[in-house]
Structure 1
Amino acid sequence: MALLSNLTVLLLLACVSHQMMSGGHRRSHEQRGRGHKGHHGARYGSKAARQVNAVSAQWVKGKLVTKDKSVCTWTATGEDLVLLNVLCEKDGRSFSCGYSARPALCLHFTSNQELYWKQISRALKKHKKPCEDSNTLVKAAMCRRSPREAHFILHHAGAMKKDFPASAATAVSSCKSENKKLAEEFCIQSWSSFCTFLFTMIKDSDC
Structure 2
Amino acid sequence: MLLLGTFTSWLLLAFLGQQVLLSSAVRNKKWGAGGKGSSSATSGRGKFPIVADKMQCTWVAKEIGDAVRLTVKCENPEARVTGGVTDLECQYNGKPQLCPAYGSNRQSFWKQVTRAFKRHQGKVCKDERALVKASVCKSAPRDVHFKLDIHSSVASAHPTACSGRVDSKRKAEEHCSSSWASLCTFFFSMLQSDEC
Report the TM-score range of the alignment, normalised by the length of the smaller protein: 0.5 to 0.7
1:82 positional shift: 0.2
Is residue 2:25 matched to residue 1:73?
Answer: no
Larger Rg: 1
Structure 1, 144-153 or 62-71: larger mean CA deviation: 62-71
Is residue 2:188 matched to residue 1:205?
Answer: no
Identity of aligned residues (%): 35
Equivalent in 70, 75, 83 of residue 69 of structure 2: 83
Q: Which amino acid aligns with 2:71?
A: N
Which structure features the higher share of helix residues? 1
Count, aligned residues? 126
SS of 1:126 mapped into structure 2: helix
- 1:61–1:154 distance in 2 versus 1, CA, 3 Å: same
C-alpha separation between the residues in 2 aligned to 1:137 and 1:77? 18
| Structure with more relative contact order (C-alpha pairs < 8 Å, separation 6 or more) | 2
1:88 positional shift: 1.2
Which structure features the higher share of strand residues? 2
Equivalent in 24, 38, 48 of residue 54 of structure 1: 38
Equivalent in 91, 111, 114 of residue 121 of structure 1: 114
- 1:59–1:206 distance in 2 versus 1, CA, 3 Å: closer
| Unaligned ranges ≥5, structure 2 | 1-34, 80-84, 163-188
Paired residues for 1:37-52 under 5 Å: none
Paired residues for 1:103-118 under 5 Å: 103-118=96-111
- 1:57–1:81 distance in 2 versus 1, CA, 3 Å: farther
TM-score by length of 1: 0.52
* CA RMSD of superposed structures (Å): 3.0
| Unaligned ranges ≥5, structure 1 | 1-50, 169-199
Is residue 2:152 matched to residue 1:161?
Answer: no
| Preserved contact between residue 81 and residue 101 of structure 1 (Cα < 8 Å) | yes
| Preserved contact between residue 42 and residue 106 of structure 2 (Cα < 8 Å) | no
| Preserved contact between residue 58 and residue 73 of structure 2 (Cα < 8 Å) | yes
TM-score by length of 2: 0.55
Runs of 4+ in 1 over 4 A off after TM superposition: 200-203
SS of 2:154 mapped into structure 1: coil
1:163 positional shift: 3.4
